[in-house]
Amino acid sequence: MSDVNADEIVDIVGENELIYVPRNDAVEAQVCDDKLIVKTRDGREVRTPLSWFPFLVNASEEQRQKFRVLGTEIFWDDLDNGVSMEVVLLGRAGT
C-alpha cells in the first residue's frame, strides 16, 4: 500500500478486495443562468443543468456566485448546501 498515490481513493469491492480509482476532483467551477460548469483534474468540463439543484435555482445571483471548490464538492456557505462530484460526474439529479 505504500505506492498508493494521494490522488487516488480506495473503493471496497468485497470483504477483502480493494481497488484504486483515480480521483477526479473539481478544480474550478462556474455558475451560469442555467448551468453549473465544473472543470475536473483530468481537464474535462462537465455542464450540469442548474435545474437539478433547486437550492441554486432559488438563490440570488450573489448567493450563487459565492462558493468554494473543495475537490470532491462545490459548497455554498451562505446557502449551507453543496453539490458533490458524484452528482456532477454520474448525473444523479436531485441527490
Containing structural domain, residue 83? 24-90
The owner of cell 448551468 is 35
Q: Is residue 11 part of a domain?
A: no
Query: pLDDT category, 95, cuts 50, 70, 90?
Result: very low
Question: For residue 63, what is the domain's CATH number?
Answer: 3.30.2020.40
Q: Is residue 31 part of a domain?
A: yes
Per-residue pLDDT tens for 48-82? Answer: 999 999 999 999 999 999 999 999 999 999 999 99
Is the pLDDT at 15 greater than 70, yes or no?
A: no
The pLDDT, as a whole number, for residue 10 is: 52
Per-residue pLDDT tens for 77-89? Answer: 999 999 999 899 8
Query: pLDDT category, 90, cuts 50, 70, 90?
Result: confident
3-state secondary structure of 59: coil
3-state secondary structure of 77: helix
Q: C-alpha cell of 50? A: 442548474
Q: Is residue 29 part of a domain?
A: yes
What is the residue type of 85? M
Give the count of domains, the chain: 1
